[in-house]
Structure 1
Amino acid sequence: MSSTGPRAPRGAADRLAYLLKLIAAGPPQFTLGELAAGAGLPTSSVHRLLQALVRSGLVERGHGQTYRPGRELHRLASQLVARFDLVRCATPLLEELVTQWHETAVLCTYSPSMRAAIIADVVMTPHPLRFAVERGGEVQLPWGSLGRAILAFLPQGDTEAIMREAKVGPLSGRPRSSRPEMEAELQQIRERGFARYFDPRYDIAGIAAPVFGAFGEILGCLGVTMPSKRYQLHLEDDLATAVRASAETLSGMAAISHS
């Protein structure tokens, strides 16, 4: 386990949650020392919290001095996945968009802790001329259709924090739009239910729509990306309507899974 994440929290409850995240993302077995080093916390503190996890069944003892994720942790994770697997549910919708429109379809999931979106799934266009999109890539929210389709629906405080941190575009290196321009763009996205992006200087364009959870929280977005040369073929709202309908279908699945 390596300490590559944010600084370890101070409160006991926050530290417990922090350890669970490290355990869930880490190797199948680990020692107390490895977990403490990865967490950047004193061994004595980690030992105390680890014992609480062992008592709850979320962590189990392994061979020798090792520990491993417990069967209770696996059971809870399985329950959540069984209720709603965003990627699994989105894949047929992405495939249908590619079949109909022959452009790359993308699913992004929003990470509140990172204040960024992660590319969770991609179905590539059959066109040889296409924009490279890789699973696991990070999407900065103030730029592009994928990012702005999420940014427009975040709580005001999160939007403010993201806008303060956003300085220059990750692709262009240019400063972001002025605050009034961004506010107007985000309001337009909220009104029409999708975001457009077009930048012929970098030959990239896209259309994306938000995906919501059962309680109205933003889960991510679903969209299509393409070279800007082909964007002219989709200036009518037919593709935008299809993207929005697919995102609404996915949002409906999320709502049903929690009913």
Structure 2
Amino acid sequence: MRTRLPKTIVHRLVTTLAVNGFLERDTSSAKYRVGPMAFRVGACFLRGRRLETEALLIMRKVVEKCGLPSHLAILHGDEGIIVAMVDNPLPVKVTVHLGARRDLHATAIGKAMLAFQPPEETRAILRRITLVRRTSHTITSRRALLEELEQVRRQGYAFNNQEANLGVQAIAAPIFAADGSVRAALGIPFPVAIVPPAEIKRLADLAMEGAKEVSARLGGG
């Protein structure tokens, strides 16, 4: 679509949007794409959506049961976006902001959503994204990640073992829409220091139970 605006004005507008984070430049193609601030504004809009409304009710129950925070993410393009959070009462917290962008390959919520896409879509996403090494635990092999995603499908939840941030683990389960698709996930992040390994399965059960209840409220799985 043509704006019919002078190039100088367009350049000034694009520069302003980029400086403020609403656009970002792809260094390989020199083209602009939507930036993180646009996602944060979008997250504010999403606050009124049914998904978040239904999920928040369940997330509060999850937090009450485990004493840990709960996050809700949606699949947006080739990444996850945090659209809702319920904090925990403990002094030790995992800090994440609304609108935060999350890697699909290095986070529990990302892997929970990625694992339940149609196989051809999962492979297409993996061809498009770069498996950036966030920590020494990050999975950077596509073959290894596909094996991990197969395990996620079998067990019904994803586990992040300090793959995005050292000292932080997380559990997440997929949320199914009425048409059977997965475009969201419910996660429970936690510092490694306060959750013993023996407790992880209990947290996984809570995440799956919560995600299943949200799915049911949406008419899904």
Pair 174,102 (structure 1): closer, same or farther in 2 beyond 3 Å = closer
Q: For structure 1, which runs of at least 5 residues remain unmatched after alignment?
A: 7-21, 27-80
- Measure the CA separation in 2 of the matches of 1:174 and 1:235: 20
Percent identical among aligned pairs is 26
2:7 maps to which residue? none
Aligned to 2:193: 229
Map of 1:105 onto structure 2: 70
Aligned ranges for residues 155-170 of structure 1 at < 5 Å?
155-164=118-127, 165-169=129-133
Question: Does structure 1 residue 193 correspond to structure 2 residue 156?
Answer: yes
For structure 2, the residue ranges without an aligned partner over 5 or more in a row are 1-12, 25-37, 43-47
Matches within 5 A, 1:70-219: 85-111=50-76, 114-164=77-127, 165-169=129-133, 171-172=134-135, 176-199=139-162, 202-219=166-183
Q: What is the TM-score of this pair, normalised by structure 1?
A: 0.62
Secondary structure of 2:196's aligned partner: helix
Q: Is the helix fraction higher in 1 or 2? A: 1
What residue identity is the alignment partner of 1:95? R
Give the Cα–Cα distance (whole angstroms) in 1 for the partners of residues 145 and 210 of structure 2: 25
* Aligned mates of 1:117, 1:190 — CA distance in 2: 18
**Superposed displacement of residue 172, structure 1:** 2.6
TM-score (structure 2 length as normaliser)? 0.72
- What amino acid sits opposite 1:180 in the alignment? R
Deviation at 1:179, TM superposition (A): 2.5
Q: What SS does the aligned partner of 1:172 have?
A: coil
Give, in whole Å, the separation in 2 of the partners of 1:197 and 1:187.
15
Give the superposed CA RMSD. 2.9
d(CA) in 2 for partners of 1:154 and 1:238? 25
Contact 1:139/1:147 (<8 A) preserved: yes
SS at match of 1:100: helix
Do 1:166 and 1:176's aligned partners in 2 also have CA atoms closer than 8 Å? no
Question: Quick one: distance in 1 between partners of 2:206 and 2:194?
Answer: 17
Q: What is the distance in 1 between the residues matched to 2:194 and 2:130?
A: 29
Q: Which has the larger radius of gyration?
A: 1
State the match for 1:43 in structure 2.
none
Amino acid at match of 2:104: L
Aligned residue pairs, count:
182
8 Å Cα contact 2:80/2:110 also seen in 1: yes
Alpha-carbon contact 2:105-2:131 (below 8 Å) kept: no
SS, match of residue 132 in structure 1: coil
Cα separation, 2, equivalents of 1:213 and 1:236: 26
> What secondary structure is seen at the aligned counterpart in 2 of 1:196?
strand
| Alpha-carbon offset, residue 250 of structure 1 | 0.7
What SS does structure 1 have at the residue aligned with 2:112? helix
Q: Which has the higher contact order (CA 8 A, sep 6+)?
A: 2
